């Protein structure tokens, strides 16, 4: 799974949409992953 800038943007977009989905994404993906650079 490539957690690059594109993926982060998708996450932010999801946040703008339904808040529930954003919460699920945040809960499924720890903050550490968001801070880590492209793996």
Q: What angle do CA 24, 37, 3 make, to 5 degrees?
A: 40
pLDDT at 35 over 60: no
Q: Could you identify the residue written with the tokens 């919460």?
A: 23
Alpha carbon separation from 7 to 17, 38 (Å, rounded): 15, 10
Q: How far apart are CA 23 and CA 14, in angstroms?
A: 9
pLDDT score for 36 = 56
**pLDDT tens digits for range 3-21:** 566 565 555 555 555 566 6
pLDDT score for 9 = 57
Name the residue range of residue 25's domain: 5-35
pTM for the full predicted model: 0.21
Contact (Cβ atoms closer than 8 angstroms) between residue 39 and residue 3 = yes
The count of domains in the chain is 1
pLDDT at 32 over 60: yes
Q: How far apart are CA 27 and CA 22, in angstroms?
A: 8
């Amino acid at each position: 799974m490539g957690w690059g800038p594109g993926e982060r943007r998708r996450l932010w977009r999801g946040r703008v949409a339904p808040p529930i989905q954003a919460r699920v994404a945040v809960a499924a993906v720890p903050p550490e992953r968001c801070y880590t650079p492209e793996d």
